[in-house]
Amino acid sequence: MTLGQCRCGPEHLGAINEAIPGPTQLGSGCAFSCVDPAPAIKIDTGDVVSTVGYSTKRQVDAAVAAAKQAQIAWARTTVAERAGVLTAAVDAIAERSEEISRWITTETGKTIAESREEVIDVTLTIARASIEDARRFGGTNRPAWNESHKNRRTHTIYQPIGVAGFISPWNFPVEMVANCVGALMMGNACVWKPSEWAPFGPQLLVEAFTSAGLPQGLTNLIYGGPETGELLVTHPDVGFLAFIGSTAVGELGGNGPLIVLDDADVDAAVDAAVASCFYMAGQVCTSAERILVHSAVHDEFVQKLTARAAALTVGDPLDESTELGPVSEKRILAKIVAHVDDARDKGATITTGGGTSGQFHEATVLTGVTRDMRIHQEETFGPFAPIVKVDSAAQALTLANDADYGLSMAVFTSSLTTAYEMSEGLQPSTPGRTIGSWQARSAGIRKAESAASSEPMRCAPLPTSRPLASPCCDRSASGLTLSALAGGYRS
C-alpha cells in the first residue's frame, strides 16, 4: 500500500483513493516536487522529475492499522514461507535494479555507478543475508546461572514486535529496504517513509514486493517531510524505528577524522581520502570531513591528493564515465560555499577546485586548515578534503576529538600498537581500526586486501528487544546480528 503519491512528472498527481487496505493509497496533502539536480548538466532552475502528495494523519494512521492487521497472519507463517516470499521479492528488485538505479541518480545526483552500488552491492546483498540469517535464528536453552536456580533452565524465544517504522534519507533512498526485509523475516510488518527529496526509487521497490506476492498491507509506503515522520515516530502502534537522518532526527551528523601518521602508506591513504571525500560528492555522513596529516608525509600526501582530485571526471551522473556528480540541493551548495569562503578568509589555501557551476562543485583540496574554521568544526557535506598538518600522533588525537560529533574515523599507520592506541583514544560514534592498506570509504571502513574491518551500523531500531514476562529472561542476543538489529524481536 502506498500512502502518498509519486509519479514521474507533476501532471500525474492523481485523485485521492481512500480504500484501506488497498494496494495503493494516494496522499491528499500538499504536493512536493523533486527536482533533478543535473538537468542536461547545466543547472539553472532544475527540472521536476517526480511529484508526491504528502500523507495526511488519517492516512498514516491507516497505513499503521493495515500493517498491524496484516502482521497477525504473517507472524503465524513459518520462516521457510517468509523466506520464499521475500526471496521472490528480492529477485523482483534485482530484475528492476537498473531502472531503480537510474531513478536514484535522477533524483539525487549520485553517479549511476554509485546508485548501482547502493542497489546491488548494498541493498540486495544485505537483504539476501538477512533472509539467510533469519533461517538460522532461534531461541536458546541455558543451564542455571547460580546455585539457587540449579533446577531451572532459561528458555529464550523470540517474537516479532509488530509494526516497524522506517525513515530513509535522500542520499541512500533504497538501502533501508534491506532492513525492511530483516524485519519482515522476523515476522513484523513495515511502514516506510522515504525522503521527500528522493521518493520514487522506494516506490519501485514496494511495487516489486507487491508483484512478488507479499501479502497486502504488510509493507506500506507513506510520503511527507518532518511532520509525517513525527506522526510515524510517535504512533502508539509502531513498535520500533529504524532510521538514517540528521542531527535533529538523532544520527548526530558526521565530522569524522581521517588520520595519516608518519609511518603510513601514503598511496593507500590517498586512495582512501579520494573515496571518502568525493564519493557521492561528499554527501555522506561518514565521509572524511577532516584529514589530519603528519608533517613528515604532509607535502607528499597533499601533492598526490591534489592531482587525484583535479583528475576526477565531473559531469552528467547518468554518464558511465562520470566520477563526480552534482550537489543535490541548493541549500547544501550554499553551505559548502560559505565554508569555503570562511576557510579562505581565515588563511586556508585551495590547492585545487573551489569553483562552482550550477549545482556542481569542483573536488576541492584545502591546506592550512585550523580549528577555528567552520570547515573543521561543522559537517560540510560536500566534495572537500580539508587538510590539517600535525606534528605527532598525540596532536592528531587531540584535534580529532575536538568536535561536537564524529560518527566515523580512520587511522593510517603501519604500527598495530599505534592503531589500537589511536582507535581507543578516538571518540567518534563508529570507530574502526585502520592499519596499513586498510581503506576508509564513504560508507564506513571497507575491507582491503590485507586486513579486516568493522562496518558501522547505519541505522538503529529502538528498541531492539523486549523481554517477555519471566524472571529468567535472557537478553544476551539483543542486537548482535543484522537480522536481529534490523528485524526487531522480543526476547
* Catalytic center residues: 251, 285
* DSSP run (H or E) holding 210: helix 200-211
C-alpha cell at 463: 528498541
Q: How far apart are CA 116 and CA 102, in angstroms?
A: 8
Write the CB contacts of 414 (distance below 8 Å, at least 6 apart in sequence).
263, 264, 265, 435, 436
Query: Are the C-beta atoms of 284 and 272 separated by less than 8 Å?
Result: no
Write the CB contacts of 172 (distance below 8 Å, at least 6 apart in sequence).
118, 122, 244, 458
Residues in the chain: 491
* Residue entry with cell 568525493: 278
Using only the alpha carbons of the chain, give its radius of gyration. 24
DSSP strands (E only) in 176-329:
189-193, 219-222, 238-243, 256-260, 288-294
Write the CB contacts of 359 (distance below 8 Å, at least 6 apart in sequence).
37, 38, 43, 46, 109, 326, 327, 328, 329, 330, 333
Residue 234, helix vs strand vs coil: coil
Q: Where are the alpha helices (DSSP H) in 12-169?
A: 57-75, 79-95, 97-108, 112-116, 125-135
* DSSP run (H or E) holding 308: helix 295-310
Per-residue burial over 158-172, b if 16 or more Cβ lie within 10 Å, else e, is bebbbbbbbbbbbbb
Q: How far apart are CA 158 and CA 491, in angstroms?
A: 5
C-alpha cell at 394: 598525540
| Cis bond before residue 21 (omega within 30° of 0) | yes
Please, what is the end-to-end C-alpha distance for the chain in angstroms? 30
